[in-house]
Amino acid sequence: MVIIDGKALAQKVKERVKQRMAKISIRPGLGMILLGDHPASKIYVFSKERACIDMGFYVKTVILPTSISQEKLFVEIKKLKRNSKIHGILVQLPLPPGFDGEKVIEAIGYKKDVDCIHPFNIGQSISLGKVDLENLLVSCTVKGVVRLIESTKQSIAGKKAVVVGRSNLVGKPMAMLLLAKNATVTICHSKTQDLKKETKQADILVVAVGQPNLITADMVKKGAIVIDVGINRVRKRIVGDVDFKKVKKVAGYITPVPGGVGPMTIACLLENTLLLAKRKEG
């Protein structure tokens, strides 16, 4: 069993971003909005902000109370869109109850949608041909996951891949990118009748549902690549969607939480922001 080091791989992506940044004439800029104080969301937003500062990006973080109206949220999004220093915008998910996620994404628009969850950008992922990750605008988490899988040196082509979760942020684009990499893909979700039967067949298992320790050792094929996208706070600890201690005894490769997908998501966010800045530069 090999524990995949997301921090080390993320550092390599950041180094390439820094090299490419030196070749453009403008400073990449990222605008972020955080609603409320969801623990995992706060961790991610502040980690993203710190990474941008370390990279020399322009970054503006707007923290709003959950009591704000959706209309006032749209006003804040418009301010970021009008800011010429900002090339990419994200509103940290999940949104608090009462907010219409689809309308929020529409308000961001596809041109500055750094996480690529606008319908236009998701649509582009369906028609992927040859996948060039360094120049591909697709969900930051999804790019990170594919890089983690590729770091094992195991071929994706021809493998049975199972994605647990069907969100627009991870599940759906994850399936499309793995399909573009010539895997045979199954998406599982809350209505899947026999989840264990599906996951047990997976050569590559990607789990992104936000349910602590959902995947247990008896649900994993021996030698499988297991990528845990989940981030959950349980009794002041951060844990994933996979029972890491037990599953690592079965898996061939596995990502830890924290230290796996999280650092790669942030590194790929920097890369996507750079790509949007390059697009603005023309």
What's the CA gap between 155 and 182, in Å, rounded?
A: 10
Strand partners, 205: 162, 226
- Active-site residue among 14, 48, 181, 221? 48
Both tokens assigned to 46: 């502040």
Residue 88: partners with Cβ closer than 8 Å, 6 or more residues away: 28, 29, 30, 31, 112, 113, 114, 269, 272, 273, 276, 277
- Active-site residue among 14, 113, 115, 159? 115
| Per-residue DSSP letter, 95 | P
Active-site residue flag, 246: no
- Active-site residue among 92, 159, 241, 248? 92
Q: How far apart, in Å, are the Cα atoms of 41 and each of 85, 123, 187, 233?
A: 24, 26, 25, 11
3-state secondary structure 108-145: HCCCCECCCCCHHHHHHHHCCCCCCHHHCCCCHHHHHH
Both tokens assigned to 130: 């040859």
Both tokens assigned to 266: 């942030």
| Ordered alpha helix ranges (H), 68-118 | 70-82, 101-108
Tell me how far the alpha carbon of residue 4 is from its chain's centroid: 16
Q: Could you give the strand order of the β-sheet that contains 58-64, starting from the edge strand earlier in sequence?
A: 58-64, 29-35, 88-91
Active-site residue flag, 221: no
Active-site residue flag, 194: no
Which residues are part of the catalytic machinery? 48, 92, 115
